Structure 1
Amino acid sequence: MNIVASTVTLSVTDPVASGRFFTTHLGYREVLTGEEFVVLGRDDAAPDVLLRQRDLELPPGPGPVGVLVSFAVTGVAAEYERLRREGANITVPLHREPWGEQLLELTDPNGIVVQLTEWIPPAGT
C-alpha cells in the first residue's frame, strides 16, 4: 500500500466558521465547498481537512469535544506571535515541556483544539 494523501474529517455545527478559522490562522485554502461541507487543503505535508455539517437531528455524539489536531511545525514561537496579533483564540499559551517540545494550542469556533508543536532538544543533548 502507498498512501498518497490523508484527510481529517470533522463533524461540526458550523463548517463555515471552522473553515474561516483554518484559512485565517492556519494557512489552509478552500478546495471544495458544498451546502453542508467545506474541504480545505495546503501545499505542504499537512492533511486535508473535511469539515462536514453535523446531523442536528441525531443525538449529540462526541462531536469535536476531545478532538485535538496536532501539527508539527517550524518556528512555533513566530507562529505564536502571529496568532496573537491576529486575535486567534489561543487556549494554551506557548510553553516548553521538560522533554523539549515547545507547543501552543488554539481552539476554533466549534471547539476543535489545534496544537502547534516544535521539537527543541533539551539543553545538553
Structure 2
Amino acid sequence: MAADGFASLARDDAGMNVIFLRRGLATLPADQRDSHAAGMILAFVVDDLEGELARLTAEGVAVTMPLTEEEWGERAFQVRDPNGVIVQLVDWKGAGAA
C-alpha cells in the first residue's frame, strides 16, 4: 500500500508489516516529525540479489555500499531511503554459506 509520504510493505505469511514515512508528515506526533533514523539497518533477504541491484540502479537509486561478500557467505549491498534509513538487500549464497 502506498500514498503520498507513506509506503507499507507486508507479508501475510510472515505476520509482519514495515512502514516507511516521509519526515515532516502532519499525521505524526510533533516530536517524531523530523526525526532521522540513526544506527538502524533494515535488511531484506532476496532471491535474486544481482537482479535487485540492476533494477534499483536502473531506477536511479544510489547504491551506498557496493555488493560485497563476507567470508561466512553473506552477500549484500545497501541503499538509503529519503529519511536516511539504511536498507540492505542480502542473500546467503556466498562461498562461506553452508
TM-score, scaled to structure 2:
0.70
Query: In structure 2, how many angstroms separate the alpha carbons of the residues matched to 1:47 and 1:88?
Result: 25
Matched positions, count: 92
In the alignment, the residues of structure 1 paired with residue 20 and residue 55 of structure 2 have an alpha-carbon distance, to the nearest angstrom, of 24
Structure 1: gaps spanning 5 or more residues = 1-28
How far off its partner does 1:112 sit?
Answer: 0.6
Q: Deviations over 1:70-114 (max 9, x none)?
A: 001111011111111111121001111111111000001110110
Deviations 1:14-47 (A, max 9, x none): xxxxxxxxxxxxxxx32xx59xx73513456483
Q: Give RMSD over aligned pairs.
A: 3.2
Aligned residue identity for 1:78: G
User: Please, which runs of 5 or more residues in structure 2 have no aligned partner?
Assistant: none
Q: Quote the offset at 1:60 in angstroms.
A: 9.1
8 A Cα contact 1:39 1:48, kept in partner: no
Structure 2 vs 1, CA of residues 86 and 119 (structure 1 numbering), >3 Å: closer, same or farther? same
Change (3 A) 1:122 1:40: same
- The one-letter amino acid paired with 1:119 is W
Relative to the length of structure 1, the TM-score reads 0.57
* 1:82 matches 2:50: no
More helix by share: 1
